[in-house]
Amino acid sequence: MNSIIEQLRSRLTESLTVGFGADFQAVEPMVVPASNPKFGDYQSNISLSLSKQLGQPPRAIAEKLLQHLDVTGICQPPTIAGPGFINLTLEPAYLEAQLSNIQTDPRLGVQLAKTPQHIIVDFSSPNIAKEMHVGHLRSTIIGDCIARILEFRGHEVLRLNHVGDWGTQFGMLIAYLREAYPEALTTSNALDLGDLVALYRKAKQRFDADEEFQETARQEVVKLQTGEEDSRQAWQLLCEQSRREFQVIYDLLDVKLIERGESFYNPLLPSVVEDLEQLGLLVEDAGAKCVFLEGFTNKTGEPLPLIIKKSDGGYNYATTDLAAIRYRIGQDGAERIIYVTDAGQANHFTQIFQVARRAGWLTDEVQVVHVPFGLVQGEDGKKLKTRSGETVRLRELLDEAIARARTDFEARLQQEGREETEAFKANVAQIIGISAVKYADLSQNRTSNYIFSFDKMLSFQGNTAVYMLYAYVRVQGISRKGNIDFEQLGAEAKVFLQEETELALGKHLLQLSEVLTLVEADLLPNRICQYLYELSQKFNQFYDQCPVLKAEEPLRTSRLVLCDLTAQTLKLGLSLLGISVLERM
Ligand code: ARG
């Protein structure tokens, strides 16, 4: 079924064309959720916006629209308010029928996209031999969530890990490896490189202190670029090791990615330069080949160059991204490309998009979006650091979340006098810990910075994963207590929305589709969190006010359906955030 708002839109479009002519087919009928429940459930301001064009007072337009507006069966008779707002209030009988329908639909009434697209989500993308930091964690969590939503809507999603696996730092690393661990390069598995970050630090120290070493490192870069066997092998070794470390995090987070690092695009870089040259876009500037950007100037007001090929012949981060965008459109057939990185890279992407557009590689048929996010801050409001001032290691961060969840859980078990097995406790702690971290990130508007607080994210109060997981468990508790198998309720189970709280819950349950449509467009996962949070609250209000197991039939079954739908919606909604539910906790 189409979402309620879509149905109302198409009814309004119909009345527009009947009332004012076929030209109005393409006019957006401006149906939005009502700003205040006393105006009903939805409203349209279309009469106000058309007033000028039609040369008629809004109220007259609204009256004409209502003459032709057929929403019987969906809404109560529409009313006009103020200068000409059209107010729509849903008919309980309609809601009841919709709710019974979706109860047996695993998609809960969420339709598949009418025109599925090839979409690339470029996310996570840490750098080899460098720390995968909290910024990469945000990218991983947000990118995975966006991919899950688009997949659920039926799009063909390619989840790409644009790993930083190429660049001059490898010269330094390989030179250091040769010097400090020569056996690692000749015998396979001779050495566990262990902490690559420490290796990187040592190599960097060596590099900064010794000019001769710098020269060796530079030669290593050349050897790597010309494909010399043992340099490539050393590079492989480093990548392999990093990959293993990243994978631990991806497994913990249950995130799937296809690695296609920067090195993948290496062979394509020369043709990026050549083709830009042929198109007349390249300018030689102080030995470097650049494209001068439109709309970007330096401090003195001169146009800013984007360096495509450096004077030493090397390429840049930007060159690789140009090759990548071209490949993704040309070879992967991407119709939408989504890049999830910190807000600091906004200019980089605007520039890439501009050059790709000017080169004709990026056309209007393809949508490219940078999905920026803010910083992760410590509770002091500064950049997140460990107590000793170092960058926080992701592995340790996630482990700590799990450990804290475990401590809280055990305290609760003791309070409630419960005994649980070790496996059960470990599983609960793992799910709560990881969910808390993910949810804390996703529930913020991603564009703002967010404060990382274990205490807040693990709290039972407020808009947290625990609160949501608990609401789900509460419903499962009802089914256990009443010995009810929700799946047996069946399609013929009728829903009745009599009490205020039932009606509010019922309406909210039917809005999932609407929320997902919004997220699909603006890629703001916090909308889903907000939706689920309100759902849990509405459910709790309903459950406080309305007896369920003790109610008389047919209300009892109806309320059980509402409970079940709440649980199914929570489960589905959370799964789109990359969070799994617990049956008990
Ligand atoms: N490796 C980069 C970083 O750590 C992120 C790459 C994002 N994707 C891209 N196509 N540029 O900041």
Nearest residue (by CA) to ligand 1, atom 8, is 162
CA distances from 449 to 123, 317, 455, 505, 530 (A): 18, 25, 18, 32, 18
DSSP element (H, E) containing 110? none
* Amino acid in position 391: T
In tens digits, the chain (585 residues) has pLDDT values of: 678 999 999 999 999 999 999 999 999 999 999 988 888 999 999 999 999 999 999 999 999 999 999 999 999 999 999 999 999 999 999 999 999 999 989 999 999 999 999 999 999 999 998 888 899 999 999 999 999 999 999 999 999 999 999 988 899 999 999 998 888 777 766 566 667 888 888 999 999 999 999 999 999 988 988 889 989 989 998 998 899 889 999 999 999 999 999 999 999 999 999 999 999 999 999 899 999 999 999 888 889 999 999 998 889 999 999 999 999 999 999 999 999 999 999 999 999 999 999 999 999 999 999 999 999 999 888 888 877 777 888 999 999 999 999 999 999 999 999 999 999 999 999 999 999 999 999 999 999 999 999 999 999 989 999 999 999 999 999 999 999 998 888 778 899 999 999 999 999 999 999 999 999 999 999 999 999 999 999 999 999 999 999 999 999 999 999 999 999 999 999 999 999 999 999
Q: Can you tell me whether residue 13 is helix, strand or coil?
A: helix
Task: Find out whether the beta carbon of 341 lies less than 6 Å from any atom of ligand 1.
Answer: yes
pLDDT for res 384: 86
CB-based contact 47:62 (threshold 8 Å): yes
How many whole angstroms from 171 Cα to the centroid of ligand 1? 20
pLDDT for res 191: 62
Task: Find out whether the beta carbon of 328 lies less than 6 Å from any atom of ligand 1.
Answer: no
Token pair for 39: 């105006």
Whole-angstrom distance, CA of residue 169 vs CA of residue 357: 31
Residues in Cβ contact with 178 at an 8 Å cutoff, skipping those fewer than 6 apart: 185, 234
Task: Find out whether the beta carbon of 441 lies less than 6 Å from any atom of ligand 1.
Answer: no
Closest CA to 128 of 177, 193, 200, 187: 200
Q: Please report the atom of ligand 1 found closest to the CA of residue 164.
A: 1
**Residue in the block written with tokens 């063909």:** 156
Q: Please report the atom of ligand 1 found closest to the CA of residue 324.
A: 10
pTM of the predicted protein model? 0.94
Q: For the chain, state the CA radius of gyration.
A: 29
Whole-angstrom distance, CA of residue 433 vs CA of residue 398: 7
Residues in Cβ contact with 26 at an 8 Å cutoff, skipping those fewer than 6 apart: none
Closest CA to 460 of 451, 452, 470: 470
Token pair for 378: 């410590």
Q: Please report the atom of ligand 1 found closest to the CA of residue 342.
A: 12
**Residue in the block written with tokens 């497994």:** 251
**What does the DSSP 8-state code read for residue 436?**
H
Would you give the distance in Å from CA 580 to the centre of its chain? 16
Quote the Cα angle for 280-283-288, to 5°. Answer: 140
Residues in Cβ contact with 522 at an 8 Å cutoff, skipping those fewer than 6 apart: none
How many whole angstroms from 335 Cα to the centroid of ligand 1? 20
Whole-angstrom distance, CA of residue 104 vs CA of residue 491: 6
pLDDT for res 131: 81
Query: Which residues of 26-95 form beta strands (DSSP E)?
Result: 31-33, 42-44, 79-81, 85-88
Exposed e or buried b for every residue in 79-98, given b needs 16+ CB within 10 A?
Answer: ebeeebbbbbbbebebbbeb
Residue 121's DSSP bridge partners are: 159, 338
Report the 3 state secondary structure along 330-396.
HCCCCCEEEEEEEHHHHHHHHHHHHHHHHCCCCCCCCEEEEEEECCEECCCCCECCCCCCCCCCHHH
